[in-house]
Structure formats: structure tokens, C-alpha cells
A and B are shown apart, each in its own frame.
Chain A
Amino acid sequence: GAGVSQSPSNKVTEKGKDVELRCDPISGHTALYWYRQSLGQGLEFLIYFQGNSAPDKSGLPSDRFSAERTGGSVSTLTIQRTQQEDSAVYLCASSFRGQENTEAFFGQGTRLTVV
């Protein structure tokens, strides 16, 4: 596609439920990143994929968070047993080859609200 696509754009879920957030990167981009944006914590890195492998998972806040990427394309971020503190905007980004000096292109994000 023309840009990074994320779905859903908004998600309201009850505390304790599991949620899946989807990211469709720009075609041909091998690197994919997940970030979280919240009022209290700003923009935080969660996980980085190069192809289908995740060499950097250091930002995942707990074992309730997991992510996978299949076919070197679409990625899914899963949050199990959601908590109110998980409420945030989850941003996905992709870049060509993922080199440190290259531009990351961001999607519009998924706004997650846990009630």
C-alpha cells in the first residue's frame, strides 16, 4: 500500500480481555517497529522486527505483550489480560532495511482504551 496501515483505528475493551492490533507496513520494507504513546510515558519503543525475526524485544513491558510478523509483512501485537494502564495509542512504523540512519514511516495508530 501507499503507507503504513493499522487496524483497528480505535479499540475499546474490557479489563482482562485479550486484544490484537494489526500493522500492514509499506511494501518492501523489511524493518517494522511497534511503539506506544501515552500521556504519562510519552513515546516508548516496544519491539523491532527485521523480516520475521525480532532481534530487539527490549521494550515489551511485560509477558502479557507479544508480537509476531509473518511473511515479512503484516505484524500483530497481542496484549493478553488487558489492564487499564495499557490504554494508549499503539503506533507501528516501517523502514527500508531498518538501518539506523533511515527514515521510519509511521501509521496513524490504534487508540486502545481499557475500561
Chain B
Amino acid sequence: AQSVTQLGSHVSVSEGALVLLRCNYSSSVPPYLFWYVQYPNQGLQLLLKYTSAATLVKGINGFEAEFKKSETSFHLTKPSAHMSDAAEYFCAVTRTGRRALTFGSGTRLQVQP
């Protein structure tokens, strides 16, 4: 079985501040981890993914995430928030033999001017 927990359904930051969105996973086997972003009335877009090649993963739009096995975490960060980052962010997991994504409940990011 596998699951994803996203702490904080809503996060608000000021423009230019650090963004930190939390994701913890549980998986009985090594996972593949993803962060997706959803802008209003749009589908999901991949930000980045962890597939065991490197623990620090860089994605689009200046986002990155670090896989920490000891903490079963895959938190998403961005050094400086931009107004255009306002969206909903989803952490998701798959594993060998389970091709469908299991999503967390999502975190809505607000960026204040």
C-alpha cells in the first residue's frame, strides 16, 4: 500500500519569500515521487519527479524537492515566491507494479504582494 500526506491545505507567503510545501509518503517498496501544479480551471502539470537517480531534484519554474528516505519526505521548495506561483500543488506517488498515481490532498499556495 502507499499513501501521501500533505501538511497544510493552505499556505500563504509574501512575494519574494521562501516557499515550503510539505509532503510525506508511505510505501512498502521504493517509491517514485512527483509534484504536480494545478492552475485554476486547468489540468495538472508536472513540476518535478524523483525516480531514484538523485535525491535533490530540480524542476520547472525554480522549484526543487529533496527526497529524504529517513524522514519519508519529499518537500517542495522555492527560494523566492512569485505572484504567478499561486496555484494548488499536489504530491503524488507510484511504485513498481502500481502505475496509477496516488495523490495527496493538495496544498493551495497564496502569494501576497
Contacts and interface: CB of A to CB of B under 8 A. Distances in A.
Interface of A: 4, 31, 33, 35, 42-45, 48, 56, 59, 91, 93, 98-101, 103-109
A109 B32 contact: no
24 contacts: A31-B99, A33-B100, A33-B101, A35-B101, A42-B106, A43-B90, A44-B103, A45-B100, A45-B101, A56-B99, A91-B44, A93-B43, A100-B32, A100-B94, A100-B97, A100-B99, A101-B32, A101-B94, A103-B49, A105-B46, A106-B43, A106-B44, A106-B45, A108-B43
Nearest to A104: B101
A109 B46 contact: no
B101 A4 contact: no
A31 B32 CA distance: 17
A32 to B, nearest CB: 11
Interface in B64-113: 90, 94-106
Interface of B: 32, 34, 36, 41-46, 49, 51, 90, 94-106
Contacts of B97: 100
Nearest to B95: A100
B99 A42 contact: no
Nearest to B50: A101
A104 B99 CA distance: 10
Contacts of B90: 43
A42 B103 contact: yes
Main secondary structure of the interface of A (DSSP, over half): strand
A107 B42 CA distance: 8
B18 to A, nearest CB: 26
A70 B34 CA distance: 29
Given A100-B98, A107-B43, 6 more contacts: A35-B101, A43-B103, A59-B100, A93-B44, A103-B34, A108-B42
Contact of B51 (A43, A91, A101): A101
Contact of B49 (A33, A101, A109): A101
A60 to B, nearest CB: 12
